[in-house]
Amino acid sequence: MLAGNRRSIARAITIIENDNTETQKLIASVYSHTGKAHIIGLTGPPGSGKSTLIEKIIREYRRKDKTVGVIAVDPTSPFTGGAFLGDRIRMQELSTDQGVFIRSMATRNYLGGIAKATKDAAKVLDAAGKDIVIVETVGAGQSEVEIIKVAKTIVVICAPGLGDEIQAIKAGIMEIGDIFVVNKADRENADKAVMDIEAILQLNNKERAWKPPVLKTVALTGEGVPQLIEKIEEHNRFLEKELERKRSREKAEAELVEAIKEKMATSIIEELRSKGKFEEFLQKILEKKIDPASAAEKLLKERFGKHIRKG
Amino acid sequence: MQRGKKIRVLVAKPGLDSHDRGAKIIARALRDAGMEVIYTGLRQTPQQIVETALQEDVDVIGLSILSGAHKTLFPRIIELLKQKDLTDVLVVAGGIIPEEDIPEMKKLGIKEIFGPGTPTDEIVQFVLKNTSKRA
Amino acid sequence: MIDEKKINEVTKERERWEETTLQRWVAQRPERKSEFRNHSDMLIKRLYTPEDIKDLDYMQDLGFPGEYPFTRGVHATMYRGRLWTMRQFSGYGTAEQTNRRFKYLLKEGETGLSIAFDYPTITGYDSDHPFAKGEVGVCGVTVASLKDMETLLDGIPLDKVTTSMTINGPAAMLLAMYVAVGDKQGVPRIKLGGTTQNDMLKEFFAQKLCIFPPKQSLKLVTDIIEYCTRNLPKWNPISISGYHIREAGANALQELAFTLYDGITYVESSLERGLSVDEFAPRLSFFFASHNNLFEEIAKFRAARRLWAKIMKERFHAKKPRSMWMRMHVQTSGCTLTAQQPLINIIRTTIQALAAVLGGTQSLHTNSFDEALCLPTKEAVRVALRTQQIIAYESGAADTMDPLAGSYYIESLTNEMEERAMDYIQKIDDMGGAIAAIENGFFQREIADSAYRYQRETDEKERIIVGVNEYATGEEVPIPILRIDPKVEMEQVARLQRLRRERDNRKVEEVLGRLHYAAEKDENLMPIIIEAVKSYATLGEICDVLRKVYGEHKELIVI
C-alpha cells in the first residue's frame, strides 16, 4: 500500500471502515508515513455545484502533476443501514487516471465517529503517497462539521439563488471555513452573494490571522478554478509558515534557555573558581567527603542563599 | 444499526444504453436492504467499471444492459477484472440478455442473469446469500 | 348539460340502489379490492352516472372535431377521411439492411417511415469511436455520414413518403442529411414531409441521450424549429414526447403534465427567438405512449388535446385554430411487454392500440411481441402491423369520431386528468420552469418514485402482470430472435474509413471551421450543418465541433 498499490489502498480503507481491532494496527503501522499530503475539505449544500467543481479542481492539480486522493462521504440511512454513494459520478472520467484515487464512504455508525474514520482513511491516502487528499461532504448536518475539520484547508462552496445563501451554509462551517467560493458565478446574484458572505466573515473573523477570501467560480467552464487552487496553496503555505513560526519560536525558546543556562553556568563557575570555592569542594569530592550533586547545591546555596532569602 | 462490515455493491451501466429505470430501482432496493450502493451513472466503459470496483473494494458488481451490446462488453469487463486480480467479486447482470446467451455469460464468470420481470426481492436475496462467504 | 331536477332524481335513486340492491350483493360477495385505482393514482368509482358530468358543457368542453378545443379530434373527419398513419419504428444493422426493411414494410401496407438509429448515431459518435464498440447497428440503423443516409433512403421517393426520425441530440445533423438526400432526388424542399423528434428537455430526465448541456440543447432545438418554419413548411420540427417519460416510470398523469410543460418551454423559446406563435405552432407535434388501462389512456389523449388548445389560446394568445391543435403520434408501451409467454404481448399491444385509436391519434406504432427479447423479426413486425389494420378495417372503431364522448366515466376521467395536469403545470411554473426543475431534479424524483412504486406493487402482487407474477408457466416456448451480425460493425468501420480517405478533406476542414465560428457567434446552425453533411463530414466530426463549443452534459443522479 505504501508503494501506492491501488488494490492495497482500497483494502486498507475497507479495514478502516470495518472498524475493529485491525483498524488500530493498520493506523499504527502507517503513521510514520503520514504528514506529507495537503488535506483539503470541501463542503457545500446540494445544488451548489460542488461535485462539478471538485472534478475541475482535481484536473487542475493533475495538470500540475500532483496526485490526488478523494474521500466522498454520504449519509447512511438510519432506518435501513444502507447508503447510496453517488458522489463519484461527477468524477467518473477521472477514475481511470492512475494519479487519482476516489473512494466513497458512508457515515455508518463508527465507534469513534465518522470524522475519525475519515481522518484515518485520509491517513491511508497520505501514507500511500498522495500529494493532495480531498474530503468531500454535503454540509448539511452536525457530523459534517466534524468531518471537515479533518482537513487543513476548508473550502466552503455555495451558489447564488439557493434560497438564503448564508443559511444554506451550516452554522459552524462559517467559523471554520478557510476559503469561500461562490460557484455558478455567471448567475445574476453572484456578486451579491459574495458581498453577503464577506460581510459575515468580517463580523466573525476579526481575531483570525488568516482572512478567509471569497472567490467566484463557474465550475461548468472551469473559470476561477486555477485561482482557487492558488488560494488553497497560499493557505497551505500560510499554515506551513504558521507551523514554521511556531517551530521557530519553540526552537528559539529552547536555544535561549540553553544559552542562558550555559552563560549562567560559565559565569558562576568562573566566580567560584576565582574565589577558590570550586577547588575547595572539588577536593572534598575526591576525598569522598561529599557527592557532586550535594556539593553543587551547597555552593549555589552559599552563593545565592542571601538572594534567595531576600527574594 | 450494526457496526462493521457492510456489503458494497457497484451498480453499473456499461456502454451507450441509456435505460436506467431498472438499475436505479435495484440500487434503491439494495440500499433499503442495508447495503452500500455505488451507482456511477450512464456510459461507463469497462475500464471505468473495473477501476471503480477496485477503488471502492466492492463485494458485488451488478451490470445492467438492454442494448444487446453485452456480447462485446461483458467479456471485456471480466477480462479486466482478471487482470486487476478482482476475481473474487460477485458479478451479476440484468436487462435484456437473450436466453441463449446466458450459458456463455455464466461461463465467463457472471454468476447469475436476471431477466425482465424478476422480482426485486429475488435479486436482493441472491446478493445477500452469495456474499456472506466473502467476509 | 343535464337539468338539475333530473340529476337530483338520479342521485336519490343511486343512493337507494346503494342501500338495497348493491348492499345485498356486496354482502354475499365483496368486491375484489377495497379500492380500485388507476396508474395515475386516481380513485375509480364502481359506477359513473349523469351526476359525474352534470357540469359538462358540450360546446365549451367538447365542441366539434376540427374546432377549438379539439377534444373530439383535430380534423373534421378524422378516420372517416383518412386513417391514422401506420408508422412502424424500424431500423437495425446497416443502412442497406434497413432500406430493405423499409421497402418490406411499405409493401405490407405501412403508410409512413420511422427510423430507429443505433446508439452511436443517437449519441453523436462515429462507428469507429471507442464508445461505439459492440453497439454499431445493434438497436437501430447506423448512420455516420450522408453516404449512409443516401443508402438508407435509396429508392424511396421523398416527395411521396413522410419520414419520422427518432433523433434528438444530433437532430440537426440528421435532418440536414435528409434534406441533402431530398436535394439529390430533386424534391423541392417545401415538399419534404416528416418529423424530427428533436425534444431535448425529456432527454435530461427520461431518455438520457444527451450530448450538450440544457441551455445549448434548447438553442439547437430552437434552431431547427426556426429553420423549418422558414424553409421546410411540411416538416414537423419537433415531436414533444411523453413516451420516454412514461417508459422511464412516470404514470399517465405525469406523462401528460411533463410533456405539456416541455411544449410550453419550446413555445417560449421559439417566441424569444422572434418567431410569432402562429408561424410555428401549427407544426408542433406530440408523441405519447399507450399503456394497458384502456380508459385512462383515452382520457389522457382527450385531456391532452383540450389542455394544449387552452394553453395555446390563453397563455400564448394564438389566433389561428391550427396553432392550437395537438397532433400526436402514439406508440404502444414497450415496458409493459413481457419476456415470459411473449405471444400474449400481442393482446396487450392490441388493447393499447385500440386506446390510441379511440383517443384520436394521427399516427401509430404498434410494438412487436418479441419486444422484450430483441429487435423485431419480420414475422413479429408484420403481426404488429396487422393489429392496426384489423382495428382499422374490422372493428368499426374508425367509423365514427370520438365514439366514447359523453360516457360518464370517460368525461369524468378526462376532466380529472386535465385538472391534475394543470396543478403540475402550476407547480413547475412556480419552480421557475422546466430547466430549473431539471436542475433541481424534480422530474427525475417524480419518475423514480413512480417507477419504484410500480415495482413494489408488482413485487407485492398488488399489480398483476399475467405470465410474470401470476399465471406464470415456467416452461418457455422458444421463439426466433433477431441477431445482428458482428460483421456489420467491421464493414461499417471499413466503409467509414474509406469515406474519410476519398472525400475532399480540405473542404471538410474548412466547413467545420466555419461551423465552430458560427456556433460561437450563436447563429442558427442549420444552413452550415447542411453544408457540412454535403461535404461528407461525419456525424462524430460535426458533433465534436459543437462539443468543443458547448461542452458536454453530465447527468444529475436521482434514484
The three-state secondary structure class of C102 is helix
Identify the pLDDT of residue A164.
Answer: 57
Residue C225 resides in a domain = yes
Question: Does C544 or A289 have the greater pLDDT score?
Answer: C544
B-contacting chains (≥3 CB pairs under 8 Å) = A, C
Q: Does C139 touch chain B (CB under 8 A)?
A: yes
Chain C residues 409-468 with a CB less than 8 Å from chain A: 439-440
Sorting pLDDT into bands at 50, 70 and 90, what band is B2? very low
Whether A130 has its CB under 8 Å from any CB of chain B: the answer is no
> How far is C-alpha A285 from the chain's CA centre?
54
DSSP secondary structure of chain B: ---S---EEEEE-BSS----HHHHHHHHHHHHTT-EEEE--S-B-HHHHHHHHHHTT-SEEEEEE-SSTHHHHHHHHHHHHHHTT-TTSEEEEEES--GGGHHHHHHHT--EEE-TT--HHHHHHHHHHHHSS--
**For cell 445482428, what's the residue?**
C484
Q: What is the mean pLDDT of residues C126-142?
A: 92
CATH 3.40.50.300 describes domain B8-125: no
Given pLDDT bands bounded at 50, 70 and 90, which one contains residue C450?
A: very high
Top-confidence residue, A70 or A187: A70
CB C552, CB C211: distance < 8 Å: yes
Tell me if chain A has a CB within 8 Å of the CB of C551. Answer: yes
User: Is B44 an 8 Å CB contact of chain A?
Assistant: yes
Residue A140: pLDDT above 90?
no
Picking from C439, C440, C557, the nearest residue to A89 by CB comes out as C557
Domain carrying residue C215? 31-54+197-468
Residue C171: which of C542, C497, C458, C500 has the closest Cα? C542
Kindly give, in sequence order, each residue whose CB lies less than 8 Å from that of residue C383, ignoring residues fewer than 6 positions away. Answer: C346, C368, C369
Interface test with C, best of B9, B11, B17, B24 (most C CBs within 10 A): B24
For residue C17, being part of any structural domain is answered with: no
pLDDT reading at C410 higher than 80: yes
In angstroms, the separation between the Cα of residue A168 and the nearest Cα of chain C is 15
Beta partners for residue A137, in sequence order: A43
Nearest to B6 among A92, A95, A108 (CB): A108
Average pLDDT over residues C445-473: 92
For residue A221, what pLDDT band results from cuts at 50, 70 and 90? confident
Task: With 0.90 as the threshold, say if the pTM is over it.
Answer: no
Query: For position A214, what pLDDT does the model report?
Result: 93
Does C188 reach chain B within 8 Å, measured CB to CB? no
Average pLDDT value for residue range C519-534: 96
Q: How far apart are CA B110 and CA B38, in angstroms?
A: 19
Instruction: Examine residue C342 and state whether it is found in any structural domain, yes or no.
Output: yes
Percentage above 90 pLDDT, chain C: 86
Cell of A77: 440511512
Q: Does domain A6-246 have CATH number 3.30.450.40?
A: no
- Which residues of chain C lie closer than 8 angstroms to A221, CB-CB? 551
Q: Is residue C515 part of a domain?
A: no
CATH 3.40.50.300 maps onto chain A at 6-246
Q: Tell if the CB–CB gap between C119 and B27 is shorter than 8 Å.
A: no
ipTM of the shown complex: 0.92
| Yes or no, beta carbons of B39 and A14 under 8 Å apart | no
Tell me the pLDDT tens digit for each residue of C50-69: 999 999 999 999 999 999 99
* pLDDT category of residue A30 using cuts at 50, 70 and 90: confident
Residue of C122, C209, C557 lying closest to B39 (CB–CB): C557
Nearest by CB: B3 against A7, A84, A111: A111
Q: Could A82 and B54 be called an inter-chain contact, meaning their C-beta atoms sit closer than 8 Å?
A: no
CA proximity to A156, closest of A67, A73, A217, A237: A217
Task: Return residues 9-28 of A near B (CB < 8 Å).
Answer: 9-11, 13-14, 17-20
Instruction: Report the neighbours of A using a cutoff of 3 or more CB pairs below 8 angstroms.
Output: B, C
Closest Cβ opposite residue C557 in set A52, A86, A221: A86
Closest residue, chain C, to B16 (C-alpha): C119
CB contact under 8 A, A220 and C213: yes
Is residue C160 in a domain? no
Euclidean distance between CA atoms A64 and A59, whole angstroms: 9
- Residue A40, SS3? strand
Write the secondary structure of B113-124 as one string of H (helix), E (strand) and C (coil). EECCCCCHHHHH
DSSP letter at A119 equals H
Any domain includes C183: no
Facing A103 at nearest CB: one of B1, B34, B56: B56
Nearest to C208 among B29, B42, B121 (CB): B42
Q: What is the pLDDT of residues B39-64, one digit of tens each?
A: 999 999 999 999 999 999 999 999 99
Report yes or no on C299 lying in a domain: yes
Q: Does B120 sit within 8 Å of C455, measured CB to CB?
A: yes
Taking residues C135-143, report their average pLDDT.
Answer: 91
Q: Which residues pair with A199 in a beta bridge?
A: none
Q: What percent of chain A has pLDDT over 70?
A: 92
The sheet with strand A179-182 has its strands ordered as: A100-106, A68-74, A132-137, A38-43, A153-158, A179-182, A214-216
Given a cut of 80, whether residue B120 has pLDDT beyond it is yes
Instruction: Write C439-443 long-range contacts (CB < 8 A, 24+).
Output: C439/A47, C439/C214, C439/C556, C440/A47, C441/C556, C441/C558, C443/C204, C443/C205, C443/C206, C443/C245, C443/C258
What is residue A309's predicted lDDT score, i.e. its pLDDT?
A: 47
The distance of C212 to chain B (nearest Cα, Å) reads 15
Percent of residues, chain C, with pLDDT higher than 70: 99
The per-residue pLDDT for C423 is 97
Answer whether A52 sits within 8 Å of C555, measured CB to CB: no
Calculate the average pLDDT of chain C: 94
Is residue B88 less than 8 Å (CB to CB) from chain A? no
Q: What pLDDT score does C26 carry?
A: 94
Cell 569530592 sits on residue? A285
In a domain, C284, yes or no: yes
Q: Cα–Cα distance between C156 and C501 in angstroms, integer?
A: 28
A130: closest CA of chain B, how far (Å): 14
Chain C CB contacts of B24 under 8 Å are 448, 451, 559
Give the residue-averaged pLDDT of A157-178: 72
**Residue A89 forms contact with C (CB below 8 Å):** yes
Alpha-carbon gap: B33 to the closest alpha carbon of chain C (Å):
14
pLDDT of residue C558: 76
- Give dist(CA C505, CA C532) in Å, integer: 11
Tell me how crowded residue C394 is: count the other CB atoms within 10 A of its CB: 9
A161 vs B: CB within 8 A = no
Domain boundaries, chain B: 8-125
Residue A311: the pLDDT is 34
Chains linked to C by 3 or more Cβ pairs within 8 Å: A, B
Phi-psi region of C367 (alpha: psi -120 to 50; beta: other; left: phi over 0): beta
Q: How confident is the model at residue A160 (pLDDT cuts 50, 70, 90)?
A: confident
Residues C291-310, mean pLDDT to the nearest whole number: 98
Average pLDDT over residues C376-400: 94
**Interchain pair B24, C559: CB under 8 A:** yes
In angstroms, what separates the C-alpha of A227 from chain C's closest C-alpha?
21
| Beta-carbon separation of B36 and A85 below 8 A | yes
Task: Supply the pLDDT for residue A255.
Answer: 84
Per the listing, cell 451490446 goes with B69
